Chain A
């Protein structure tokens, strides 16, 4: 187990470095420096500003300083566009929002998707099964940027039940639609995975043995079938998490919820490279670390993987 963890960490660290180097390199090669405006600054002023932000240093030195700032002080650097605002401020403002609806979506996708999948597998070929399969097929082709407009259309414009956007401190009526839009397609994928995995498990020999010795269905499912069933689902959690994070780009721009996605897309439009870089590194390293944790968790549940 320890060697598996070490091996997994030995992939995660170069990945983080690759991400850092790619984003740094892209930022450096970007046409036009961050302080090139339509009215050119006097060279002396430009040199001063660049010295202030450390841009006159060689690239590797900048990269090392940047990394040092993150590790020692959790400092993701300044924004080049808004002088009174650092990337840390943006994270502090947007991250709680994203985390709020992201976590609810994540839990919802797992719980409802898993329950639907298990129920469909137990009652295979019943109306419940067909219903679940129908939903999972439908929801797979309804990504968040399709779900969100439809939800607004129905619940805001036609029925007038829910507000079409805003966050309002995370009141429940502002959270519902972002959560549904974000979680539906992942819920569907989890339901499909759980269903097929459960069907396979229910056909295996040890379940037949359990049936043969007369265990009630409830015990068979909860004690014996559940653990092997959730294995493929666990390995899907990594991609699902990534989807939730990138999905926030869409959610924030449709529902104006003001999470990190909003700032990221905004920075992309403003060419605010420092903010993009900071958010890329933060969100990117979170996904990389999360994937690592999921893999280790998977290996812990299923010893076969460790080989």
Chain B
């Protein structure tokens, strides 16, 4: 008897360790797995850092500079090329813009506007698109085909023309840009979500929910949408730079945000029109922020896709 105990006892720690290891393996959910994959992706991690820096710049940049974005320095006006160079000494880190305003403050403001358009625009698109797609996909049948036919038609309307028409007719303002972008940006999202919903719809847990009498919209909200989250997150990160690009395109043409507001597109446009005079910093700083941010969003989106959807690789 005691002999047997002696044999068993040394085994115990090993079993415990084994159980622990098993628990560890079991504990890795889909999300933990995805997180680990994402953290291993160097380009994506660097991009997260860069993007964080850009956001900090947008939120706190105005605290660093003593100048605001509206005061015109009359001494510099007209002599921007000679006197307006970027300089650490006088606190105009990015120099002056063509109207004698502090470019650093202007870039901070432009960054705020561009990021806001990107994030809010993408958020509207994601919310509307997800609901629309999930409803169409879940209900199915004739409702689905009518809803999706509408999306087909709306998608083939060349939206850039409609956006410009809207801005011209209702006045150029940032609200109108939101409306114009919001009108079209959700279409893609709804298609993707619908496709995913169709494949989720026939899973057993949905059947179980239906069998227990859960109402359709509760099923969509509680069971369908959470399972779409992976696709939605990936697409949303890729949508943000898309929104920023669209807004910059419109603002570059001068049809977007209006003075005294500004955005990256408007700043790049200003820099382009003045580079003949040799004031290159007016082009360089907004351009650098624009390119770096778009890069970062694309890399993060790619990283998330690889992390959340491994079969896509």
Contact = CB atoms under 8 A, between A and B. Distances in A.
A298 to B, nearest CB: 14
A52 B72 CA distance: 49
Nearest to B293: A141
B312 to A, nearest CB: 10
A160 to B, nearest CB: 13
A268 interface: yes
Interface string B233-246: 00000000100010
Interface string B283-304: 1000100110011001000000
B295 A146 contact: no
B265 interface: yes
Contact of A253 (B156, B161, B253, B268): B253
A15 B268 CA distance: 35
A276 B265 CA distance: 23
B156 A12 contact: yes
A149 interface: yes
B162 interface: yes
Contacts of B254: 265, 269
A114 B286 CA distance: 32
Contacts of B287: 146, 149-150
In which size bucket is the chain B interface? 35 or more
A171 to B, nearest CB: 22
B153 A246 contact: no
Nearest to A284: B158
A35 to B, nearest CB: 16
A15 B168 contact: no
Contacts of B84: none
Contacts of A273: 168-169
Contact of B255 (A27, A146, A242, A268): A268
A284 B161 CA distance: 8
Contacts of A246: 158, 160-161, 249
A143 B249 contact: yes
Nearest to A143: B245
A22 B275 contact: no
A29 B280 CA distance: 42
A145 B268 contact: yes
A266 B165 CA distance: 13
B117 to A, nearest CB: 15
B272 A254 contact: yes
B118 interface: no
B90 interface: no
B158 A153 contact: no
Contacts of A27: 165, 169
Contacts of A242: 158, 160
A153 B165 contact: no
Contacts of B290: 146
B168 A18 contact: no
Q: Which 10 A-B pairs have the closest CB atoms?
A: A149-B272, A141-B294, A30-B169, A246-B160, A280-B161, A145-B252, A15-B156, A26-B169, A287-B158, A284-B158
17 contacts: A14-B153, A22-B157, A26-B169, A27-B165, A30-B168, A137-B298, A141-B295, A145-B265, A145-B268, A146-B291, A148-B272, A149-B283, A242-B160, A265-B255, A269-B255, A276-B164, A288-B158
Given A11-B153, A246-B158, A288-B157, 7 more contacts: A26-B165, A137-B295, A149-B287, A242-B160, A246-B249, A268-B164, A269-B255
